[in-house]
Amino acid sequence: MMTSSRDSAAPAGYVRVCAVEQIPPRGRKTVYVDDTRVLIVACGDDLYAIEDRCPQTGRSLAHGTVLDCVLTTPTGGARYDLRTGRYLGGGLLPLRSHWLTVFPLRVIEGGVYIRLPG
């Protein structure tokens, strides 16, 4: 578990959550920003930050599968686009209103920074 840190080098509203090298290629890392559990996912050369909570079941997404920037949830099989959070089908409750929460992410001088709303 990693908690965030405020950093004077961070853009306004962003917090540093980890170093890039802490996220393995095609891997993921769970971090906490205040009381929000965030999953950082590596897909290709890009990183994405999503709330680590399935919109359908409320469970962690850390053990879901990722292929072509599409996350398939480990419990229900719902599919989501990591870039947009868009629901792509499947799962227990196939409602189009169930989107992932995607947070803005920046990599600055080897650090991973994310911004939560509010």
The predicted pLDDT at position 26 comes to 84
Whether residue 39 has pLDDT greater than 70: yes
- The answer to whether the CB of 61 falls within 8 A of the CB of 70 is no
Q: What is the pLDDT of residues 79-118, one digit of tens each?
A: 999 999 999 988 776 666 678 999 999 999 999 999 988 7
Strand ranges for the chain from DSSP E: 2-3, 14-19, 28-33, 36-43, 46-51, 65-67, 70-72, 79-81, 87-89, 102-103, 105-108, 111-115
Domain boundaries, position 100 = 2-107
* Position 7 in a domain: yes
The reported pLDDT for the residue numbered 1 is 45
Share the mean pLDDT of the chain: 88
CATH number assigned to the domain comprising residue 57 = 2.102.10.10
- Give domain status of residue 56, yes or no: yes
Q: What digits encode the pLDDT tens for the residues 57-74?
A: 889 999 999 999 999 999
Q: Pairing relation of β-strands 2-3 and 28-33?
A: parallel
Read off the pTM. 0.87
The domain tally of the chain equals 1
Contact yes or no for 82/102 (Cβ under 8 A) = yes
- Asked whether residue 45 is assigned to any structural domain, the reply reads yes
Measured CA to CA, the distance from residue 113 to residue 77 in angstroms comes to 29
Q: Is residue 113 part of a domain?
A: no
Q: Is the pLDDT of residue 7 over 70?
A: no
**Residue 118 belongs to some domain of the structure:** no
Residue 115 lies in a domain: no
In this structure, are residues 1 and 38 in contact, taking their beta carbons and an 8 Å threshold? no
